[in-house]
Structure 1
């Protein structure tokens, strides 16, 4: 008999993540080869742009794992849009991921009303779409080789 619960439990989440990582590593030669190396670790990667007063003008939040950069958030404050700041942040994150962490590729998700055109201009290619996520919107998954 099992008891099913629906509650936030960070200790269980971490245990589940560890067990899933072990299962995935055992099933994947690539993940097995990365086991114990810096490329296996999920490492945060943040790049910030501050204005003259030290306020946040733009930022990129992501992480690297298994030779991939995953861009989670890229945001530029409205007064600074269109001046190339987003491109500069993305290029810096890609360079750090490639040169310092050995990443070979990058991935990200964006919605149709956000920036798919911007990412295409930066060399990203759409590899997947999810129409209606959320309703009325399409989500795009894009990737780029960092060679």
Structure 2
């Protein structure tokens, strides 16, 4: 019997755990884990954050957000840098993400990401012309063109 699991708060975590258990049994794995980073003010309010996962040697950035009053201050770049550093320690060799925001796409391109795929709605699709870009980049000891 199929039921709607949307109201279950732990469903996604349970499903992910079951899937990862099966994958570990059948496929070579690297470190599967999370990279969750937060920037908070002195009162604990969230100013910026990044949520990502690691598997098969890839860092997948699921969410990156910076509150409007702190954009263009370097917080997003700093969060990405920290996520890259942590994922390298976990054995990752590359990172990927997706976005439908053209400004975010350009931000990621400035961090040396490249678009490797795009899904664009056709003329009769709603919303018309909407595009979701998929971006990737290699990781290494020299991030963002800096030398160590």
TM-score (norm 2): 0.75
Whole-Å Cα distance in 1 between the matches of residues 84 and 52 of structure 2? Answer: 10
| Partner in structure 1 of residue 65 of structure 2 | 75
For the structure 1 residues 125 and 7, does the alpha-carbon distance in structure 2 shift closer, same or farther, using more than 3 Å as the test?
A: same
For the structure 1 residues 143 and 14, does the alpha-carbon distance in structure 2 shift closer, same or farther, using more than 3 Å as the test?
A: closer
Relative to structure 2, which stretch is displaced further, 9-18 or 50-59? 9-18
Q: Residues 50-105 of structure 1: CA distance to partner in whole angstroms, max 9, x if unpaired?
A: 2233321100001111111000000000000011110010011011101x201100
- Give the 3-state SS of the residue equivalent to 1:115 in structure 2: helix
For the structure 1 residues 5 and 15, does the alpha-carbon distance in structure 2 shift closer, same or farther, using more than 3 Å as the test?
A: farther
1:124 deviates by 0.5
Q: Equivalences for 1:5-16 in 2 at 5 Å? A: 5-8=2-5, 10=11, 13=15
| Partner in structure 1 of residue 127 of structure 2 | 135
Whole-Å Cα distance in 2 between the matches of residues 142 and 94 of structure 1? Answer: 15
| Partner in structure 2 of residue 59 of structure 1 | 49
Give the gaps of 5 or more residues in structure 1. Answer: 26-30
Whole-Å Cα distance in 2 between the matches of residues 115 and 129 of structure 1? Answer: 14
More helix by share: 1
Whole-Å Cα distance in 1 between the matches of residues 69 and 17 of structure 2? Answer: 44
Whole-Å Cα distance in 2 between the matches of residues 129 and 145 of structure 1? Answer: 19
For the structure 1 residues 49 and 120, does the alpha-carbon distance in structure 2 shift closer, same or farther, using more than 3 Å as the test?
A: same
Moved over 3 A (4+): 9-16
Give the gaps of 5 or more residues in structure 2. Answer: 141-148
Q: Equivalences for 1:87-106 in 2 at 5 Å? A: 87-98=77-88, 100-106=89-95
1:134 deviates by 6.5
Count of residue correspondences? 131
| Partner in structure 2 of residue 116 of structure 1 | 105
| Partner in structure 2 of residue 28 of structure 1 | none
